[in-house]
Chain A
């Protein structure tokens, strides 16, 4: 069995995001970036699957991103992936996740042996569209199960049973393999790479693919156009009501009625 895990470099969730003046994107200079936490669940799942089963030949990690994204690949390699594919070309820079999925699919197709299991995060914390996983499955023509919270792979590796939480219930989905899963929080806890593994990760192979290798990248027609990005409006000032409980309640109702106009 061969497992592929897709990772993306995203801004740290605590980083202060500054929007570019023209609204075309965000300022990346000095921005703290990390491996997307949901994608990390995918890497962890892949590594754990290899640890549990004897039939996993290879765990490969793929990332679409510029030079700075190599750190994310190192993290995945330190967590236990065997080798990495870095899809890196200025032509591929986009804010269009369907285009990203198309490029990734083309890159994945170049691997002749193919993958039995492809794992992504449920969504990425930057653009939050949740589109990469399902689109990738579509482009690769494999079945897809989204937001997986429980997983069993058949002993012979031909099918899997996934559990996903839906409104008020749990759904159990059976699926033939090869398949693509997107991972929800709670299925696995990502490990903290040990130092010897971080060292070993430096020596693991990273294959770089550019537009020269992925000739069909331009054929993508799918996708959305980013019109503009703007920061959320500043939080309105907090108003403290003081006084006796009765007065405060009266004042509160008055404000809700007259200023907030919600009652």
Chain B
């Protein structure tokens, strides 16, 4: 092969690629700083599991299998491409390692041939999905088809080159035959054995140059297409957030930021971190996120995929202005670019500071999110959404004061009465009337603090869960206490609604109270409280052993302190709370608890565990009207649960309970009971005489 042409080809295409890469690199650097290279061991582990072993890919079975074939094939064929490039300069080169008739050479050539075929098959599966099935989750672009076409042609060219080359080099008196070590190439050779030398030379050259050129063209297309993920996905997985899934990063030094007039939350594209921009680069538009998104599936404006793609398009379309703004060369970069992690001057003018709410991301998109993390659980390359959406809400709420009106009632209730409904704080412990539950001030030696939460304290339905849990703990002889009027909202709804300032007030007040009582272990029935207490209060000096009541009660049953003996004849379907399941991987304890009850038949909906659909209340949706769409999230979820034909829908979250109760009522299915796992357990354990209803209580 011609070394000059090869040298030229390589120089030009690698040169262009380097230029493209630098463009993308500079654009990436427009983002704000973020630390993402700590704990390298864990990062390498996750990169192996999720990038190389493609663990999440097969959540969609056949697309996953096809992708694995192509991905692994590309890894194997990387060496083949290098061999071919070297043959441009040294005929018959095998990079000194993969010579024919050596063990390594033979094994590699067998592997290569197998994967050439598998890659081709994988690409055909993808073409089938795009052209025949037309999967709705995908963006049906010509680009996708062209890229898949290039892959197929590359593979065919490779085999053609091998086959023709074999026939040409077989020697005058020998025949070509099937070679176990080169199955694809030798089959091609058999097909070509009667062709003339001229033809064979042409085919060998054509195969070689087509393959080599397509690899280089492919490489140069990547930075400008969704196939950039081929380069960015592995780093994106490596650089993922290692914090607990449910933790939102705090805005540090809010008052200082206000003094310095820095933006709270994210207003403009450059306030996203470089890692967020890498997320935008990496999105392959497979649509798995939106396919699982409860908002998208019920006709809301939010589609996580389009959220990412819209921001990426904005980024690419304004590349010049953004890079210039970053370098302070566009005339309005007088204060340059902040280096304070998202804080940025609100200098007017210039694309650098364009408010994304005005024309790029519709606020309705942001307000439709239930923060259920279905999208993030699905994304094979660990693109995040909840943090970005909450960051943009933070700007909307704190800087613009713009948010769905109903949330104002919740914010004001929180501000004046420490709970989103605005009930009187001194009535916080009324749920326990007649149960003789001690306040921690009266029982400072309690082993466990029962963190009740706002809904179980005030909501008539959820109160029963709190009562059931308290009764069960008493029966098991647990030495526990409550904070009573000293308890305040954890701040979860404020934080998820973008009111970070308000959240931090609660975080500081509650950690002070808890630390004041030297609390070590907390039990709570609310997954939202659980998540905040466990993962978010650490930032405010609150470090506790936090246990959800599903775990706590399951343990009491396991250790024999609670004995579910009375049969409860019921077909029970359990609904996974997002903040227990996807946020905290707690799928089994609530189910174990239900199974421990004699008479219970536990059934599962199709959409279950980490694919369990949100009830629609998370992310402060509980305190606002649902955004407009075709259907309500809780109705859809109720339908899914009803398909199992249950007598009881059981859940372990007060918000889920409210949404599903409404869902059942909306479908006129009040014959199906909605019970918390604690209420189910209490039915089986049996209530003791000291249990009294609030109406007849003597206290």
Contact = CB atoms under 8 A, between A and B. Distances in A.
Interface of A: 12-16, 32, 34, 189-197, 199
Nearest to A33: B416
Given A32-B416, A194-B400, A194-B401, A14 B423 contact: yes
B401 A199 contact: no
Grouping DSSP codes into helix (H, G, I), strand (E, B) and loop, the A interface class, with mixed when no group exceeds half, is loop
A13 B426 CA distance: 14
B332 interface: no
Contact of B259 (A193, A194, A199): A199
A15 B425 CA distance: 8
Contacts, number: 50
A199 B416 contact: no
B99 interface: no
Given A14-B422, A16-B427, A189-B405, A195 B254 contact: yes
B398 interface: yes
A196 B399 contact: yes
Nearest to A37: B412
A125 to B, nearest CB: 13
A191 B401 contact: yes
Given A14-B424, A192-B408, 9 more contacts: A12-B417, A16-B424, A189-B405, A191-B401, A192-B403, A194-B399, A195-B254, A195-B399, A196-B261
Nearest to B394: A195
A102 B398 CA distance: 39
Interface in B389-447: 397-401, 403, 405, 408, 411-413, 416-417, 422-427
A32 B255 CA distance: 25
Contact of B401 (A16, A34, A192): A192
B264 interface: yes
Interface residues of B, number: 26
Q: Helix, strand, loop or mixed for chain B's interface? A: helix
Given A14-B416, A32-B417, A189-B405, A195 B398 contact: yes
8 contacts: A12-B416, A13-B422, A15-B424, A192-B403, A192-B411, A193-B401, A194-B398, A195-B254
Interface string B258-288: 1101001000000000000000000000000
Contacts of A34: 412, 416
Contacts of B424: 14-16
Contacts of B501: 195
Interface string B240-252: 0000000000000
A199 B258 contact: yes
A16 B430 CA distance: 14
Contacts of A195: 254, 258, 264, 398-399, 501
A78 B426 CA distance: 29
Nearest to B395: A194
Contacts of B400: 194
Nearest to B257: A195
B166 to A, nearest CB: 73
Nearest to A195: B398
B659 to A, nearest CB: 24
A192 B404 CA distance: 11
B5 to A, nearest CB: 62
A81 B29 CA distance: 41
B85 to A, nearest CB: 58
Q: Which 5 A-B pairs have the closest CB atoms?
A: A194-B401, A199-B258, A195-B398, A14-B422, A12-B416
Nearest to A202: B258
A13 B416 CA distance: 10
Interface string B177-202: 00000000000000000000000000
Contacts of B426: 16
B302 to A, nearest CB: 23
Contacts of A16: 424, 426-427
B214 to A, nearest CB: 54
Nearest to B401: A194
A225 to B, nearest CB: 31
Nearest to A238: B695
A34 B416 CA distance: 8
